[in-house]
Amino acid sequence: MNPLRVALVTSLRSQLSPGRFVGLALASLALLLFVLLPVPGAEGSLFASRVEILRACLLFPGILVALDLRKAWPALGPEDTAQVWLHLSGAPAWMPRLGALLGGLLALLTLFVFQALLLGLGLSVLPDSPKFHRASVLLAEKGQPGASFLVQPGDAEDFSLPLGTGQVGTGQVRALLLRPRWSVGPTGPIEVEVFAARLTGSWRSLGRTSFESSGDSRRLPLAEGLGNASRIQVRRLSPAGTMISLAFGEVLLLGTGLGPIQTALRATLPYLPWAFLLLLAALSLTALLSPGLWGLAVLCLLPTIGMAPGLATDQTGSHLGQGFSSLPALPGMSWVLLALTLLVIGLLCPRKIRPKEVPA
């Protein structure tokens, strides 16, 4: 009997019980009914707050799997009931622990997909739900001054168009979203013109727009797309005055539309690294703590949800929700090292840092 396979199957079956799916559906329905309550104010301005509340359901899979890990496979730490089986089988400690971790990870992915489908259905019934678009953030070209601002007429900032997989293709671009960062100075409209060009070709104008005040953003429609362009340039037209910068602000390519289900599936991505780290931390803590203290310690880890970015919204009129549509950045190296450390502690060191639970 392979202890890794036994732990994996047992853990997976326990965490994917029908009651788990029913519980998630009921919790999501309760949140949806809450955000559908009538609230005074303009409907269009309520979408961001509604979705932030509704998106809280994406916390549930990570929390449930982490808190249920020890119950799903009760042979992970001190005072667990199935430690006798582990001792009698003579299996290395890391094998059933790895099986329990893999079972938890598979359960986590399954519940995330299910929860994303519920979120997509919720988005489709919100009264002020917008049309979502694929979005890609443009980065300023290398070699530009690090503190460049558009100060004088003719000052410009250049941006490279993405060519990587998963980015908005140049043939699919429907609009540019411009959100500059403002410096100190007198308030007043600042007009800019946007150009596109090939790597060695001449610039052609895509249109003009103006920003009224700090925090303002503008959407520039591109009826003919960008063609074969590889660069974007934003050039100031207004006289010298308040400085703005798109390089320090945000320039987004807005492409083809996304349905609510696709949007919800992409919205889950920032939560996956957090949930996986929570699962690894829960596994590692079992080597040190009894079940009662362990559950309290896992609950204390929940504030690490702060590593998942919030929803970015477009204030140019209809909320495009590009924060949902853009693929999030990968976890930084510090998070990867933390995950590897927790994995080593959780899988390889349990017998070295706790006494034997069952006498020989």
- Asked whether 148 and 157 are in contact (CB, 8 A), the reply is yes
Q: Which of 46-50, 81-85, 331-335 has the lowest mean pLDDT?
A: 46-50
Two structure tokens written together for 286: 């079992």
CA distances from 8 to 3, 79, 95, 98, 105 (A): 8, 21, 10, 8, 10
Average pLDDT of span 318-335: 58
Q: Please list, in sequence order, all residues whose beta carbon lies within 8 angstroms of the beta carbon of residue 286, skipping any fewer than 6 positions away.
A: 69, 70, 76, 77, 80, 294, 346, 350
For residues 157 and 78, give the distance between their C-alpha atoms in angstroms, rounded to a whole number: 60
Tens of pLDDT, residue by residue over 206-215, are: 889 998 887 7
In this predicted model, which residue has the larger pLDDT, 146 or 155?
155
Counting DSSP H helices and E strands in the chain, the numbers are 11, 9
pLDDT higher than 90, residue 111: yes
Average pLDDT of span 289-316: 70
Tens of pLDDT, residue by residue over 252-272, are: 888 777 788 888 888 788 788
For residues 99 and 9, give the distance between their C-alpha atoms in angstroms, rounded to a whole number: 8
For residues 219 and 319, give the distance between their C-alpha atoms in angstroms, rounded to a whole number: 11
Domain 134-258 in this protein, CATH class: mainly beta
pLDDT higher than 60, residue 80: yes
What confidence category does residue 168 fall into, taking pLDDT thresholds of 50, 70 and 90? very low
Find the radius of gyration of the CA atoms of the chain: 26
How many CA atoms lie within 13 Å of 156's alpha carbon, on the beta-carbon side?
14
CA 33, distance to chain mean position in Å, is 24
Beta strands in 169-224 (DSSP E): 175-182, 190-197, 204-211, 218-221
In this predicted model, which residue has the larger pLDDT, 130 or 291?
291
pTM equals 0.72
Domain with CATH 2.60.120.260 in the chain: 134-258
User: pLDDT value at position 235?
Assistant: 93
Q: Please list, in sequence order, all residues whose beta carbon lies within 8 angstroms of the beta carbon of residue 11, skipping any fewer than 6 positions away.
A: 69, 72, 73, 99, 100, 102, 103, 104, 107
**How crowded is residue 269: how many other Cβ atoms within 10 Å of its Cβ?**
18
Backbone angles phi, psi at 160, to 5 degrees: -95, 140
pLDDT higher than 50, residue 318: no
CA distances from 187 to 241, 243, 249, 293 (A): 9, 10, 17, 56
User: pLDDT value at position 254?
Assistant: 80
